[in-house]
Amino acid sequence: MRDSGSQLCWRATLDTDTKTTALHALHQELGGKMVVFAGYELPVQYPAGIMTEHIHTRTKAGLFDVSHMGQVRISGAGADMALETLVPGNIVDLKPGRIRYTFFTNAQGGILDDLTVGRADDHLAMVVNAACKDADLAHMQEQIGGDCQIEILDDRALLALQGPMAVEVLSHHAPPCGDLGFMGCAQMDVGGIPCGVSRAGYTGEDGFEISVANDQAVDLARVLLAEDEVEPIGLGARDSLRLEAGLCLYSHDLDTATTPIEGGLAWAIGKRRRENGGFPGDAIILGQLANGTDCRRVGLAMTGRAPAREGADIVDGDGTSIGTVTSGGFGPTLGAPVVMGYVASAFAEPGTKVGLVVRGTTHDAEVVPMPFVPHRYFRAKS
């Protein structure tokens, strides 16, 4: 998932309707370089710079403000059954304290948004992309609003603590967090502040997303930033981290014309949903599961240090276009460019040699497995 927008799609100037998060003043105090992203003024980086922030998150722990994301509460008897009519994920069988990644689909099997759903004791907790949240809310109200209660939680902030030392840091203030496995969630106090904590994130590292009331968000951030291992991290490093992890950025790697199977997300469609369908575009998506697709999302490694950016052509040995780059940047962990894009399925196998056209010059590249940097999610022992 997540964070609809582009690695280059932020503006330095404000509009009159630009929104801010509960941590806005703190970002300025910390020297954040503020830009407009998905309608919110957010820090793209702090004085240390994107490269340093990226490496710090990979080696210690980084704190991100992701309050621009949409937090949604869905409640009422049969809310899980209602939501299943809109997504291919198995929501009915989702156990309390667990989270599932899924997506809204349209009648053509395209992805309207990708999202996460967690089951609390008496409701479902959803997180959707910032730029999609108004459309998502309208979609849910129109399709299932008569069957359940749907509420956007504008009074809550969302912080992400990510990195190999995240659990050590958070355990100082919320000891029960260590009991959560990847994609687990629970209510707990963090430094005496009531929070919803999930062991998840958008970096490929172990870490947590923490939902907190707006009026306590700054206090919580200061508690975590007081730890020696924690530094504030901006949007720039958030994007380079997710790209190294091979994670999709909505409206670039995923969109309404791209199906989950083309996007390499078949793993998110459970057995029961594959057998029974019952979601928008099910015939197309299940047909692709059985018969394959014309194109597929792939990872690409290229020569040199200058990456191919979104929109660059992917070509075969004869120079014929076979696809398009959807995300590209420099991977600080690898010290090399990392690129994702869609190619004709005949060219999608790892090891396939292709070319990437950058400013009129074709650079040698190769299809490689993703993620580019191994995921380090915490899997609880069974």
The mean pLDDT value for 215-219 works out to 98
What is the residue extent of each domain of the chain?
24-68+154-244, 294-368
24-68+154-244 with 294-368: one CATH topology? no
Give the model confidence (pLDDT) of 23-51 as tens digits: 999 999 999 999 999 999 999 999 999 99
Task: Report the C-alpha gap between 309 and 83 in whole angstroms.
Answer: 36
CB of 188 closer than 8 Å to CB of 176: yes
Q: For residue 9, how far is the Cα from the chain centroid?
A: 16
What burial letters (b/e) apply to 324-355, b meaning 16+ CB within 10 Å?
A: ebbbbbbbbbeeebbbbbbbbbebbeeebebb
| The CATH fold of domain 24-68+154-244 | Gyrase A; domain 2 (3.30.1360)
Give the model confidence (pLDDT) of 93-116 as tens digits: 999 999 999 999 999 999 999 999
Alpha helices by DSSP H, listed for 226-310, are: 235-244, 271-276, 282-291
- Residue labelled with tokens 């928008």: 280
CB-based contacts of 329: which residues, under 8 Å, 6+ apart?
7, 239, 240, 243, 307, 309, 337, 338
| The CATH fold of domain 294-368 | Elongation Factor Tu (Ef-tu); domain 3 (2.40.30)
Q: What are phi and psi of 72, to 5 degrees?
A: -130, 135
Give the model confidence (pLDDT) of 165-182 as tens digits: 999 999 999 999 999 999
Of 201-205, 303-307, 353-357, the range with the lowest mean pLDDT is: 303-307
Instruction: Give this prediction's pTM.
Output: 0.95
